[in-house]
């Protein structure tokens, strides 16, 4: 057992599939509903649609609905990998811990770094959106266009959400329940109202009825176009894994977090399909006016569309304003739920001596990570301010690079599931599919998209910036690729440095490489005559 005030674990680490180290977090604080809410809120549905739908439409046109479905497929498959790994080892380090067990400490460390880097980068964009929408909501459009004041507002948002995460997981979950409920209701109303008007004649001339061709992947075009669209769609699903990263604070932590993750992805698919199909039927995909492909509104589709669909008077005006408010709170809520998994990843890494022990400290009263939570907030503020100070274009490209890190650590988790359970895959059809085929296929799909995205993002005309390598062969590369690949390379450098400083984790003294024993029955299986943990080798 660890010291709950410091979170320090014994050097040997866990000794069985359910012997997760006690890090001092507040166990049993969350149920299935709360975990699902956290998983959904982490994706920021309203914000994700507002910022990404226009980009998807600009790339694939009328095939946006099938791109939403294709983006769901690897997410659902990987969610099952998370579910199965969590049953064996419900550790808040998730990818870090599981990849370390399956492949070794270096791979695990890079998996943890993928989570940290992606979350810090996305925090900059979330903070910027929260700042801009906050001023727009009160009619201060001029201030909303000021880089200085939106940066100040964004920093304040990060500070407030960091404080909420610091005070306690239950406060975080309860605040998310209210905001997410209203957000989902407004999005459903938007999608339904758009479809009703498109079919009743109350929509503009550019509207059209839903067609089966919208769901035909063969009409998308080239593989490059498909890759760009799917990676954009993957971004709007990204975040459900937060439901698993709070597993040590969840009741029935072996099963509830995994169920919440899978349920989150399914609910997101249904909601995204409704809004995307409805918006496309109402507004079309044109590049002018209310068309979803209009570049002037591609970074904020919902605000413009809300006034058109709901109207500008009476209750419609209220719903349109509420939609703007929901995009604001969605970004703000995602700021909060982005802090949660990163703080718990660094907490777990510190417990297993892969990071300095200060990051393993847990507050004696709030039972939340202290250094890890505050450190995540400070790192996010620093990155946001530096990127804003350097260039808005650089900030935009940094957000685009997140797709590489998402594909990296989600795909790694899928492969880790297959390899950890390799000895039990032939035990039953269920084991073969849920522990092998599904997470393995998800990993292969994300590996393909990762490689293809590197090729696409490396083109110098992709994104808002481009870079020329200062050394031979002086390649000219796109800024999205440089930032994404650079973040992963930075992680590798930091790993080498920390291995030299504190080698215990890298010598496998804290997390031994292991595999599930064929005799082990997972907690989700029906009770049987044999139920014992796997032998650790």
Residue found under tokens 């998983």: 39
Q: Could you tell me the CA-to-CA distances from 111 to 57, 83, 258, 413, 511 in Å, in that order?
A: 32, 17, 19, 8, 14
Mean of pLDDT values over 160-173: 77
How many Cβ atoms from other residues are within 10 Å of residue 174's Cβ? 12
Q: What is the pLDDT of residue 34?
A: 87
Length of the chain as a residue count:
537
- Sort 373 into a burial class: Cβ within 10 Å, 0-12 / 13-18 / 19+: buried
**345 vs 354: CA distance, rounded Å:** 11
Q: What is the pLDDT of residue 143?
A: 81
Give the number of C-alpha atoms closer than 13 A to the C-alpha of residue 238, restricted to the C-beta side: 27
How confident is the model over 330-374, as pLDDT tens digits?
A: 777 777 778 888 999 999 999 999 999 999 999 888 888 899 999
Could you tell me which of 368, 408, 376 has the C-alpha nearest to residue 109? 408
Angle between helices 147-167 and 105-137 (to 10 degrees): 120
How confident is the model over 379-424, as pLDDT tens digits?
A: 999 998 888 887 777 777 887 788 889 999 999 999 999 999 999 9
Contact 197, 189 (CB under 8 A): no
Q: Which residues lie across from 466 on neighbouring strands? A: 478
- Sort 37 into a burial class: Cβ within 10 Å, 0-12 / 13-18 / 19+: buried
* Mean of pLDDT over the chain: 85
Flag whether pLDDT at 530 surpasses 70: no
How confident is the model over 488-500, as pLDDT tens digits?
A: 999 999 999 999 9
Characterize the bridge pairing of strands 466-468 and 476-478.
antiparallel
**405 vs 424: CA distance, rounded Å:** 30
Q: What is the pLDDT of residue 502?
A: 95
How confident is the model over 7-45, as pLDDT tens digits?
A: 333 333 333 444 456 777 888 878 898 889 888 988 889
Mean of pLDDT values over 216-243: 83
Flag whether pLDDT at 100 surpasses 90: yes
Positive or negative, the CA dihedral 493, 495, 496, 502 is positive
How many Cβ atoms from other residues are within 10 Å of residue 425's Cβ? 18
Q: What is the pLDDT of residue 525?
A: 56
**333 vs 176: CA distance, rounded Å:** 7
Structure tokens at 123: 């925090």
Instruction: Give residue 262's pLDDT band: very low, low, confident or very high (50, 70, 90).
Output: very high
Contact 238, 334 (CB under 8 A): no
**270 vs 328: CA distance, rounded Å:** 22
- Which segment, 16-20, 79-83, 122-126, 327-331, is predicted with the most confidence on average? 79-83
**108 vs 93: CA distance, rounded Å:** 10
Q: What is the pLDDT of residue 528?
A: 46
**136 vs 145: CA distance, rounded Å:** 9
Q: What angle do CA 229, 441, 445 make, to 5 degrees?
A: 25
Mean of pLDDT values over 233-259: 90
Flag whether pLDDT at 535 surpasses 70: no
Q: What angle do CA 279, 282, 287 make, to 5 degrees?
A: 80
| Proportion of the chain above pLDDT 70, given as a percent | 91
Residue found under tokens 């690079």: 401
């Amino acid at each position: 057992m660890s010291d709950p005030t410091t979170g320090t674990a014994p050097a040997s680490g866990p000794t069985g599939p359910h012997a997760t180290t006690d890090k001092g977090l507040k166990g049993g604080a969350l149920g299935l509903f709360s975990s699902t809410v956290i998983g959904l809120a982490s994706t920021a549905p309203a914000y994700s649609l507002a910022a990404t739908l226009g980009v998807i439409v600009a790339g694939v046109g009328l095939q946006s609905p099938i791109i939403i479905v294709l983006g769901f497929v690897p997410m659902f498959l990987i969610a099952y990998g998370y579910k199965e790994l969590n049953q064996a080892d419900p550790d808040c380090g998730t990818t870090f811990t599981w990849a370390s067990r399956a492949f070794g400490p270096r791979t695990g460390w890079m998996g943890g770094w993928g989570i940290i880097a992606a979350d810090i980068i996305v925090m900059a964009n979330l903070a910027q959106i929260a700042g801009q929408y906050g001023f727009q909501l009160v009619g201060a459009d001029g201030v909303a266009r000021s880089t200085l004041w939106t940066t100040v507002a964004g920093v304040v948002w990060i500070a407030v959400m960091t404080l909420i995460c610091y005070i306690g997981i239950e406060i975080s979950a309860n605040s998310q329940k209210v905001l997410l409920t209203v957000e989902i209701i407004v999005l459903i109303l938007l999608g339904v109202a758009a479809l009703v008007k498109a079919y009743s004649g109350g929509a503009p001339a550019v509207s059209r009825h839903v067609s089966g061709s919208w769901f035909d992947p063969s009409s998308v075009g080239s593989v490059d176009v498909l890759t760009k669209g799917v990676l954009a769609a993957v971004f709007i699903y990204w975040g459900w894994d937060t439901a698993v990263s709070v597993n040590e604070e969840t009741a029935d932590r072996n099963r509830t977090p995994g169920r919440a993750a899978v349920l989150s992805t399914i609910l997101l698919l249904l909601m995204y399909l409704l809004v995307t199909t409805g918006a496309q039927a109402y507004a079309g995909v044109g590049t002018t006016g209310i068309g979803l492909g209009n570049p002037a509104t591609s970074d904020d589709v919902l605000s413009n569309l809300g006034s058109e669909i709901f109207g500008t008077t009476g209750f419609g005006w209220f719903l349109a304003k509420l939609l703007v408010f929901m995009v604001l709170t969605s970004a703000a809520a995602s700021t909060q739920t982005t802090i949660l998994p990163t703080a718990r990843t660094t907490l777990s890494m510190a417990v297993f001596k892969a990071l300095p022990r200060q990051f393993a400290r847990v507050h004696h009263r709030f039972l939340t990570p202290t250094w890890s939570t505050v450190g995540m907030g400070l790192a996010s503020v620093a990155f946001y301010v530096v990127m804003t100070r350097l260039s808005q274009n650089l900030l935009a490209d940094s957000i685009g690079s997140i797709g590489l890190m998402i594909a990296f650590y989600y795909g790694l988790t899928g492969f880790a599931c297959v390899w950890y359970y390799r000895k039990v895959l032939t035990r039953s059809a269920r084991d073969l599919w849920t522990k092998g085929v599904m997470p393995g296929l998800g990993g292969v799909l994300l590996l393909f998209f990762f490689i293809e995205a590197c090729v696409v993002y490396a083109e110098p005309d992709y994104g808002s910036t481009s870079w020329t390598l200062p050394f031979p062969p002086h390649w000219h590369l796109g800024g999205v690729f440089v930032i994404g690949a650079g973040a992963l390379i930075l992680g590798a450098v930091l790993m080498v440095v920390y291995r030299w400083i504190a080698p215990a984790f890298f010598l496998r003294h804290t997390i031994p490489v292991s595999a599930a024993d064929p005799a082990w029955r997972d907690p989700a299986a029906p009770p049987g005559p044999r139920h014992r943990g796997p032998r650790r080798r």
